[in-house]
């Protein structure tokens, strides 16, 4: 048995903030952001929460898959920006859906989170432990941004994507790889809550996302083609056989560099970062849902999903639709 994606869904917050909107509240411009990243807008949560966006995305994925909440056996939430430290996002989604028979937990692999969740689902399904799994990538990154730091806050957005993954005898995940390099973790970091008990002497400041953009860029253009090559080799698939490469949506220049390294045309690399910015774990499932709902995927098509980001972490999955 393999893990086959049986349905997808996504949700973006209502508020759409363009680069020009940002230029009115901070020292930046559409020209600077667009020319370096390809990002034109992002959606930011106001009323929405990581949970509410996840539930909306999950309902759409379950509807397409024809799965009732009670049938779900596992929910994996991939996020770095759950609404609570506990309960986990996945448990909040379980409550809202009424998925009473599911186990639920979150995994934290930043922008690689959805790809790690899909690899995890594949492992469970191959082992026979579960047959029907909901995986979610969801973020409210705007909470973690320092809105005084124009070098980071313009890059990220909020949103959620989900997929129902079912055991299938023909089709589904052919191969997956994933990796991490904790030694380089501080090039993209966000501190957790500081110690603040009465016996601690240091001050307790709130911390936000900090990034060495050029180091992250170099890491991405080196690692993403490498892990896609590894996954394709493991699957016995040539790049030419792949219909679409759905990459984490951080930066158009990174995607172009990966396409060049893989010697594949940019038409095979759809993007949604122009509209959504970088939504971390939600980027890949939002893009997947868009290409699915745009009718770009037919049963049997071979696609590659790839994520990379904080940790550092990276991963790729080769699958047939």
Catalytic center residues = 111, 248, 278
DSSP 3-state of 185 = helix
Nearest CA to 71 out of 139, 137, 6 is that of 6
| Number of residues counted as binding ligand COA (CB under 6 A) | 18
Asked whether position 210 contacts ligand COA by CB under 6 A, the answer is no
The number of beta carbons lying within 10 Å of the beta carbon of residue 47 is 8
Residue holding tokens 């079912």? 166
Cβ proximity to ligand COA, 58 vs 80, nearer residue = 80
User: How many whole angstroms separate alpha carbon 189 and alpha carbon 194?
Assistant: 14
Asked whether position 34 contacts ligand COA by CB under 6 A, the answer is no
Q: Compute, in degrees rounded to 10, the torsion defined by CA atoms 255, 258, 260, 266.
A: -40
Residues 221-280 that bind ligand COA (CB under 6 A): 250-251, 278
Query: Could you tell me if 120 and 130 are in contact, meaning their C-beta atoms sit under 8 angstroms apart?
Result: no
* Residue choice 213, 229, 243, 261 for contact with ligand COA (CB under 6 A): 213
The pattern of x and - marking residues 169 through 208 that bind ligand COA according to CB under 6 A reads ----------------------------------------
Q: Contact region for ligand COA (CB under 6 A) — 27-35, 75-83, 168-176, 259-267?
A: 27-35
Put residue 277 in one of left, alpha, beta given phi > 0 → left and psi -120 to 50 → alpha: left
Q: Nearest residue to ligand COA, using CB?
A: 213
- Distances 53 to 46, 47, 124, 177, 316 between C-alpha atoms, Å: 12, 10, 26, 28, 25
Least distance (Å) from ligand COA to the CB of residue 295? 29
Query: Could you tell me if 125 and 165 are in contact, meaning their C-beta atoms sit under 8 angstroms apart?
Result: yes
Q: Contact region for ligand COA (CB under 6 A) — 2-10, 25-33, 198-206, 312-320?
A: 25-33
Least distance (Å) from ligand COA to the CB of residue 18? 13
Asked whether position 284 contacts ligand COA by CB under 6 A, the answer is no
Nearest CA to 141 out of 282, 40, 11 is that of 282
Asked whether position 151 contacts ligand COA by CB under 6 A, the answer is yes
* Residue choice 95, 143, 150, 293 for contact with ligand COA (CB under 6 A): 150
Q: Contact region for ligand COA (CB under 6 A) — 55-63, 66-74, 149-157, 293-301?
A: 149-157
Residue holding tokens 């920006």? 81
Binding site for ligand COA (CB under 6 A): 28, 32-33, 36-37, 111, 150-151, 154, 211, 213-214, 216-217, 250-251, 278, 309
């Amino acid at each position: 048995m393999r893990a086959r994606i049986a349905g997808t869904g996504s949700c973006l917050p209502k508020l759409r903030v363009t680069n020009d909107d940002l230029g009115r509240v901070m020292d930046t411009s559409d020209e600077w952001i667009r020319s370096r990243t390809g990002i034109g807008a992002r959606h930011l949560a106001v009323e929405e929460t990581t949970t509410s966006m996840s539930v909306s995305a999950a309902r759409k994925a379950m509807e397409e898959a024809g799965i009732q909440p009670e049938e779900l056996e596992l929910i994996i939430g991939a996020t770095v920006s759950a609404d609570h430290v506990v309960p986990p996002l996945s448990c909040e989604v379980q409550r809202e859906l009424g998925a009473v028979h599911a186990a639920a937990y979150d995994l934290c692999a930043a922008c690689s989170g959805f790809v790690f969740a899909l690899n995890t689902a594949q492992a469970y399904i191959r082992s026979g432990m579960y047959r029907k799994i909901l995986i979610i990538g969801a973020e409210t990154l705007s909470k973690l941004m320092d809105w005084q730091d124009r070098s980071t806050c313009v890059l990220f957005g909020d949103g959620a994507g989900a997929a129902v993954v079912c055991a299938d005898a023909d089709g589904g995940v052919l191969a997956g790889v994933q990796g991490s390099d904790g030694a380089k973790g501080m090039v993209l970091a966000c501190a957790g809550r500081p110690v603040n008990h009465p016996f601690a002497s240091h001050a307790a400041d709130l911390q936000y996302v900090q990034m060495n953009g050029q180091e992250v860029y170099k890491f991405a253009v080196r690692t993403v083609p490498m892990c896609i090559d590894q996954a394709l080799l493991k699957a016995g698939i040539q790049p030419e056989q792949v219909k679409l490469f759905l990459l984490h949506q951080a930066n158009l220049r990174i995607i172009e560099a990966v396409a060049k390294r893989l010697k594949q045309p940019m038409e095979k690399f759809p993007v949604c970062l122009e509209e959504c910015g970088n939504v971390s774990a939600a980027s890949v499932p939002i893009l997947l849902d868009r290409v699915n709902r745009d009718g770009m995927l037919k049963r049997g098509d071979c696609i590659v999903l790839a994520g990379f980001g904080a940790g550092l972490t990276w991963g790729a999955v080769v699958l047939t639709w």
